[in-house]
Amino acid sequence: MDFTPMLNEFAEARQNGFISTKELKDQGKKVVGVYCGFAPWEIITASGAVAVWLCGMSDTTIPDAEQHLPANLCPLIKSSYGFAITGKCPYFYFSDMLIGETTCDGKKKMYEFLSDLKPMHIMHLHQNPKAEGSYRYYRSEMVKLKEALEKELDVEITDDAIRDRIKLRNRERKALRNFYEMGKMVPPPIYGFEMRKVIQATLFIADKETEIEKVEKLTNAIKEDYEKNGSAVPATAKRIMVTGSPLGDATENIIKIIEDNGGVVVCFENCSAIKDKEDGVQETGDPFDALTTRYIKSGCACMSPNDHRMDMLSHYIDEYKVDGVVDVILQTCHTYNVETKRVKDVVNQKNIPYLNLETDYSQETIGQLTTRIAAFLEMIN
């Protein structure tokens, strides 16, 4: 069965996201721009606002950003800032306020500049998830976010409204998890490049009921076809997990290179990938307690010690029957770069190959990346 039309629906949803957001603005909806998964979607949308994703994922605006930011800064930060100051990101233009999170020093300093352009609220993260008081600290930041949204958007956010959004978000996570976990099949029914396109597109679909319906429909269709006709992915394809820094559109070439050279990406452990879909939020009781318990377990490299991420990596290697791990690090992303030693140790304990790739958003290194990835896949027995 050709799934292209169904996959194209997600591509179109992403392309049409700008138009949908403008239509919502015209209807009087407020828009809140976010830069990281630590910002709880449930609280933001309980205000009646639409949450939109603002991270820059291409090198298009980096030269503009470098007029204010140092050249030797993370490309994701420069791209994000460049899209903001050039007006090339409609989501930023439509945003009534921004939510920033203190995940790294580069982002924190960028937020100072962005606060001159839009109303901004910063969520401060306690970066030792095991420290005494870290839970109380993060919970207090959840409450402060709610109060900031109420003040800036002139609304009241009730606990019941947050619980309703928790239930909806849990349904979305379940639908995406069922789609994503098709990567556990041997061989998987579709390539990782196609899977990632779907997952990324869902970030730009405001109507979550429609998104859930489309994801479930696609998942069921793929599974039914798999049972009847098998997979177009060769059984000999090397099963690869991609981890590391947040992937952008500019770094998707790495996935394509892997899959053009005899591999198939069955698991992504990057931001907004499987670890973001794994755990739900408790739907009863105090919603701030429930959200804090869920979000503090993100496994982001900004946390130290980050044992939870190592446990997840070990678990995913087993669950997805991984043959090799590719660790993609954005240049000057120090938190993920320093953590590569621990990641490599986990992979070595599983007796499978590990490859570390440091790159930026430019396309000049494609030839070198292709050579290294092809050699890596060749060495996997």
Mean pLDDT, residues 324-349 taken together:
96
Nearest to 54 by CA among 14, 23, 16, 99: 99
Q: How far apart are CA 327 and CA 2, in angstroms?
A: 32
User: With 80 as the cut, is the pLDDT of residue 1 above it?
Assistant: no
Q: Lowest-confidence range among 1-5, 193-197, 209-213?
A: 1-5
Q: Lowest-confidence range among 112-126, 166-180, 266-280, 283-297?
A: 266-280
Residue-wise pLDDT tens digits, 173-210? 999 999 999 999 999 999 999 999 898 889 889 899 99
- The pLDDT score that the predictor gives to residue 272 is 78
Instruction: Read off the DSSP letter of residue 207.
Output: -
Q: How does strand 97-101 pair with strand 120-123?
A: parallel
* Residue 267, burial from CB neighbour count under 10 angstroms (0-12, 13-18, 19+): buried
CB 120 within 8 A of CB 48: no
- The pLDDT score that the predictor gives to residue 113 is 97
- What is residue 130's three-state secondary structure? coil
The domains found in the chain, sorted by start residue, are: 6-158 (3.40.50.11890)
| In the chain, % of residues over pLDDT 70 | 100
- pLDDT confidence band for 264 (50 / 70 / 90): very high
| In the chain, % of residues over pLDDT 90 | 81
Nearest to 358 by CA among 377, 381, 339: 339
User: With 80 as the cut, is the pLDDT of residue 14 above it?
Assistant: no
* Residue 243, burial from CB neighbour count under 10 angstroms (0-12, 13-18, 19+): buried
- pLDDT confidence band for 91 (50 / 70 / 90): very high
Q: How far apart are CA 9 and CA 133, in angstroms?
A: 45
User: With 90 as the cut, is the pLDDT of residue 258 above it?
Assistant: yes
Residue-wise pLDDT tens digits, 15-61? 788 899 999 999 999 999 999 888 999 999 999 999 999 978 889 99
| pTM assigned to the model | 0.95
- The pLDDT score that the predictor gives to residue 365 is 83
- pLDDT confidence band for 119 (50 / 70 / 90): very high
For the CA atoms of 209, 210, 213, 216, what is the dihedral angle to 10 degrees?
-100
- The pLDDT score that the predictor gives to residue 9 is 85
- On average, the pLDDT of the chain sits at 93
